[in-house]
């Protein structure tokens, strides 16, 4: 067993219930503040150019198990948002053969802006993203707690909470 491992093991054993509760409180507070910061920072933003694209692709992945829309990007986030929107009544027309990217983009824009209420779609997609990012921050904090202790875990989370790039990417 290495010195770092022994040190962390001793620290874990020394933690009192009060310290664990304090850590949990600070963890939840930082994650909630990060989500709130992102919500406030992006509240007046319209769709980015690729949000309708990713949203429609995600719904097609979930509802139809069809991965032909936007296959060049990883599917995790699209599947997450698509799952939430599929359950809440997102309207998706039948897919057709797309001959090029502009045709695909036209289909996705038509789906979000004409077949659905874009404000509702955007709100639900962003809620899904804030939830995913909150869960990812929680998982990171717990992994860092296990490996490096409370200070590194909370410090890293705090840094991510104030980073404008992270806040801006809490949307689909």
Residue 81 confidence (pLDDT) above 60: yes
Residue 172 confidence (pLDDT) above 60: no
What is the reported pLDDT for 171? 57
pLDDT: which is higher, 97 or 167: 97
Name which of 110, 57, 107, 118 is nearest 82 in CA terms.
57
pLDDT category of residue 18 using cuts at 50, 70 and 90: confident
pLDDT category of residue 150 using cuts at 50, 70 and 90: very high
The pLDDT of 131-145, averaged and rounded, is 96
With the C-alpha atoms ordered 157, 161, 165, 167, is the resulting torsion angle positive or negative? positive
Q: Report the share of the chain in percent with pLDDT over 70.
A: 88
d(C-alpha 52, C-alpha 107), whole Å: 10
Contacts of 161 (CB under 8 A, 6+ apart): 30, 31, 33, 34, 37, 137
d(C-alpha 44, C-alpha 40), whole Å: 8
pLDDT: which is higher, 13 or 163: 163
Q: Where do the structural domains in the chain lie, given as residue ranges? A: 16-168
pTM, two decimal places:
0.82
pLDDT category of residue 47 using cuts at 50, 70 and 90: confident
d(C-alpha 110, C-alpha 2), whole Å: 59
């Amino acid at each position: 067993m290495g010195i770092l491992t022994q040190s962390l093991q001793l620290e874990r054993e020394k933690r009192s219930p009060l310290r664990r509760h304090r850590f949990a409180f600070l963890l939840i507070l930082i994650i909630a503040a990060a989500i709130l910061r992102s919500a406030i920072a992006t509240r007046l933003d319209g769709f980015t150019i690729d949000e309708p694209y990713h949203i429609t692709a995600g719904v097609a992945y979930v509802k139809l198990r069809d991965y032909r829309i936007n296959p060049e990007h990883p599917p995790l986030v699209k599947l997450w948002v698509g799952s939430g929107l599929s359950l809440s009544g997102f309207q998706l027309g039948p897919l057709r053969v797309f001959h090029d990217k502009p045709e695909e983009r036209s289909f996705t824009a038509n789906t979000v802006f004409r077949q659905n209420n874009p404000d509702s779609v955007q709100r639900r997609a962003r809620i899904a993203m804030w939830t995913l990012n909150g869960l990812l921050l929680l998982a990171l904090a717990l992994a860092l707690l296990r490996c490096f202790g409370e200070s590194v875990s909370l410090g890293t989370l705090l840094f991510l909470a104030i980073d404008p790039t992270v806040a801006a990417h809490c949307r689909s």
